[in-house]
Amino acid sequence: MASLGKKILSAFIEMEDKTTKNEDAAAPSLPASHVPAGSQEGRAATSIDAKFSDHFNRLFADANLPGPDYYEFFKMTDAMHVIKDEGARFSAAFAGLQAQGLDKQKLLSSAQEYVKILDADAAAFHNTVDQALLDKVQNKKKEMEEVQQRIQKLSQEIVSLQQQIGVLTKEVAENEAKIESNSSGYEAALAASRNKLLQDIEKIKQYIL
Residues 84-101 have pLDDT tens digits of: 999 999 999 999 999 899
Report how far apart, in Å, the C-alpha atoms of 187 and of each of 162, 165, 179, 181, 193 are.
37, 32, 12, 10, 10
Which stretch of 40-54, 122-136, 191-205 has the lowest confidence by average pLDDT? Answer: 40-54
In a domain, 193, yes or no: no
pLDDT at 51: 78
In a domain, 133, yes or no: yes
pLDDT at 34: 45
pLDDT at 136: 80
* pLDDT of 184 strictly over 60: yes
Provide the number of structural domains found in the chain: 1
In a domain, 64, yes or no: yes
Q: Using an 8 Å Cβ cutoff, are 49 and 11 in contact?
A: yes
What is the rounded average pLDDT of the residues 137-159? 92
In a domain, 153, yes or no: no
- Give the whole-angstrom CA distance, residue 197 versus residue 203: 10
In a domain, 52, yes or no: yes
pLDDT at 1: 42
Q: Using an 8 Å Cβ cutoff, are 85 and 62 in contact?
A: no
Range of the domain at 82: 2-143
In a domain, 116, yes or no: yes
In a domain, 98, yes or no: yes
